[in-house]
């Protein structure tokens, strides 16, 4: 049986998950956050260390560090957790396209190779792997980004930014490589899962001041999602999403985050003085 524990980062509204097979105590960590203070240019590992403390207290052996996609709103702690726990770090195979796009935007040199080699495993649509006795299936769900994955396991699905809670709707599609029509089709692949499948979101922003919420069934989404409930056509969705995206601000951590996340959470190589620097392209986004 799959035991699911989430951890909420209230600065980015991100839900990270520890997933454990209760029979074998094998575990995975999904979408972990590396703390980053943009004003001071400081990273820290408080959130990631809380995950490590949790898995150690529970006696879990972490086999996988999983990413649903290269996040635009926070830095990932993937590389830090891989190194601390000796696990394998995985993301979708189309991360190579994301890396190529952003390599150009950031003007990265030949030392950054856009081949996914910063990760240990690149999953294709339909790939399966095991966490103890629990089978996981990777489902390619592009649209928010070209590389987004949904992980399906044990009667649940971890949808990343494919869907939000029904009262918030769906993720934006206006980042480089995003595509609203593609997101609509990806969402419908998720909504074709059995109706009782429990969907777990990567974000919640508590709209209207309601309490934090992170999961609901496929049925709940089909009945009530404000953007993609049953009856909303692809054309209606694309028109709504395109208009809505025009109004959204650039996420505060977009430019710091993506250059770290396409490195799997590794910082850029240090300059000769030993300091790591982020690059901020001007007037390109
Ligand atoms: Fe995202």
Q: Among residues 42, 46, 58, which one has the least CA distance to residue 5?
A: 58
Distance, CA 60 to ligand 1 centroid (Å)? Answer: 28
| Ligand 1 centroid to residue 144 C-alpha, Å | 7
For every residue of 166-200, DSSP letters joined together read TTT------STT--HHHHHHHHHHHHTS-TTPEEE
CA 169 to ligand 1 center in whole angstroms: 14
Q: How confident is the model over 91-116, as pLDDT tens digits?
A: 999 999 999 999 999 999 999 999 99
pLDDT above 90: residue 285: no
Domains in the chain (CATH in brackets) are 2-261 (3.60.15.10)
Residue 68 Cα to ligand 1 midpoint, Å, equals 8
In the reported structure, the alpha carbon of residue 59 is separated from the centroid of ligand 1 by a whole-number distance in angstroms of: 31
What's the gap in Å between 31 CA and the centre of ligand 1? Answer: 10
pLDDT in tens, 61-94: 999 999 999 999 999 999 999 999 999 999 999 9
Ligand 1 geometric centre to CA of 203 (Å): 9
pLDDT of 38 reads 95
Say if residue 196's pLDDT is above 90: yes
Interatomic CA distance for residues 99 and 62, integer angstroms? 27
Ligand 1 centroid to residue 274 C-alpha, Å: 31
Expressed in angstroms and rounded, the spacing between residue 71 Cα and the centre of ligand 1 is: 4
Report the percent of the chain where pLDDT is more than 90. 99
pLDDT higher than threshold 90 for residue 281: yes
For residues 36, 40, 42, 44, the Cα torsion angle rounded to the nearest 10 degrees is -60
> How confident is the model at residue 210, as a pLDDT?
98
Q: 184 C-alpha to center of ligand 1: Å?
A: 16
Question: What share of residues in the chain are helix, strand, coil (percent, to 5)?
Answer: 25, 25, 50
Residue 279: is its pLDDT beyond 90? yes
**Strand (E) or helix (H) holding 129:** strand 128-131
């Amino acid at each position: 049986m799959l035991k699911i524990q989430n951890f909420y980062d209230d600065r980015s509204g991100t839900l990270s998950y520890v997933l454990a097979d209760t029979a074998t105590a094998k575990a995975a960590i999904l979408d972990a956050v590396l703390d980053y203070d943009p004003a001071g240019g400081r990273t820290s590992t408080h959130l990631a260390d809380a995950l490590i403390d949790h898995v150690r207290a529970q006696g879990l052996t972490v086999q996988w560090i999983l990413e649903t996609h290269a996040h635009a709103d926070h830095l990932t702690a993937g590389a830090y957790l891989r190194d601390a726990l000796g696990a394998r770090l995985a993301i979708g195979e189309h991360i190579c396209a994301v890396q190529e796009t952003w390599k150009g935007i950031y003007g990265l040199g030949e030392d950054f190779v856009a081949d996914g080699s910063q990760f240990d495993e690149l999953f294709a649509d339909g790939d399966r792997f095991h966490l103890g006795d629990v089978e996981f299936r990777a489902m390619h769900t592009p649209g928010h980004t070209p590389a987004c994955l949904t992980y399906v396991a044990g009667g649940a699905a971890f949808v990343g930014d494919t869907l939000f809670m029904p009262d918030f709707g769906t993720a934006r599609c206006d980042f480089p490589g995003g595509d609203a029509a593609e997101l609509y089709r990806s969402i419908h692949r998720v909504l074709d899962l059995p109706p009782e499948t429990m969907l777990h979101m990567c974000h919640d922003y508590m709209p209207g001041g309601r309490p934090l919420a992170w999961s609901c069934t496929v049925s709940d989404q089909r009945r009530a999602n404000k953007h993609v409930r049953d009856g909303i056509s692809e054309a209606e969705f694309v028109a709504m999403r395109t208009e809505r995206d025009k109004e959204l601000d650039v996420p505060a951590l977009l430019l710091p985050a993506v250059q770290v996340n396409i490195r799997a959470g590794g910082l850029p190589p240090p300059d000769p003085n030993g300091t790591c620097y982020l690059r901020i392209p001007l007037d390109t986004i």
